[in-house]
Amino acid sequence: MINKVVANADEALKGIEDGMTIMMGGFGLCGIPENSITALIKKGTKNLTCISNNAGVDDFGLGLLLQTKQIKKMISSYVGENAEFERQMLSGELEVDLIPQGTLATRCLMAGYGIPFFPTPAGVGTEVANGKQIINWKGRDYLMEEAFEADFAIVKAWKGDTAGNLIFKSTARNFNQPMSMGGKITIAEVEELVPAGQLQPDQIHTPGIYVHRIFQGNNYEKRIEQRTVRKK
């Protein structure tokens, strides 16, 4: 069995250089690769293009990489939770490409499926269509969207094995699964790393072929963005 295990986040991030494009898994703060974000700050890599549905909050998640000004460009669908993001965007320090959420998820997935383009009705007739090829199929207009080309994808899974197979937990699956298949090099940090053979093959969400480096993370904070509860 091929062994994908690396010692820690620092080792996993080897080869990430200034100016590279990185997919970052998670939805809001749910399922973000906390250990890798911390290691990336320590590493100090600059001018990154980040593909991530959201940009974290001011003091957590990708918001931390915005504070250190390591991100040159964000490709996201919704960035409403982050004041520093808004400030950098309005001042022109940060380039931002806002794209529909389904388009974002699918462009990640396609990179792992070997599909270069896909037609989608999302954004037809809006400013998202500017500069894009439009095709008409059976009487309906579609925008042609390209697969992402990311140097690295960094994802967080619940369980993983030494062969790189991944299982996600609950809605922390979100963008982590499509992104885990979409990087030229995929790094997975997991809450529990087990020997090959310990995971049920038919319960695996991402097969290890897509995952190049895996390590067991620690000290997960798992911050909740909107704690909504009801009384017993």
Would you put residue 194 in left (φ > 0), alpha (ψ -120 to 50) or beta?
Answer: beta
**Judged by CB, which is closer to other proteins: 16, or 34?**
34
Is 209 a binding residue for other proteins by CB under 8 A? The answer is no
DSSP code of residue 30: B
Please count the other Cβ atoms lying within 10 Å of the Cβ belonging to residue 57: 19
Tokens of 117: 């383009």
* Neighbouring-strand partners of residue 27: 30
Is 21 a binding residue for other proteins by CB under 8 A? The answer is no
Span interacting with other proteins, options 10-18, 159-167, 195-203, 217-225, rule CB under 8 A: 217-225
CB of 16 to other proteins, least distance (A): 24
Choose which of 20, 122, 185, 196 interacts with other proteins (CB under 8 A): 122
Nearest CA to 157 out of 182, 144, 174 is that of 174
Choose which of 13, 16, 23, 27 interacts with other proteins (CB under 8 A): 27
CB of 104 to other proteins, least distance (A): 8
Is 65 a binding residue for other proteins by CB under 8 A? The answer is no
Q: Which amino acid is it at 163?
A: A
**Judged by CB, which is closer to other proteins: 13, or 142?**
142
Span interacting with other proteins, options 3-11, 42-50, 63-71, 114-122, rule CB under 8 A: 114-122
In angstroms, the CA 16 to CA 23 distance is 12
Contact 117, 146 (CB under 8 A): yes
Is 6 a binding residue for other proteins by CB under 8 A? The answer is no
Q: How far is CA 104 from CA 10, 20, 94, 148, 222, in A?
A: 28, 18, 19, 9, 24
Applying CB under 8 A, the residues found at the interface with other proteins are: 27-31, 53, 76-81, 86, 89, 96, 98-103, 105-106, 108-109, 120-128, 158, 168-178, 205, 222-232
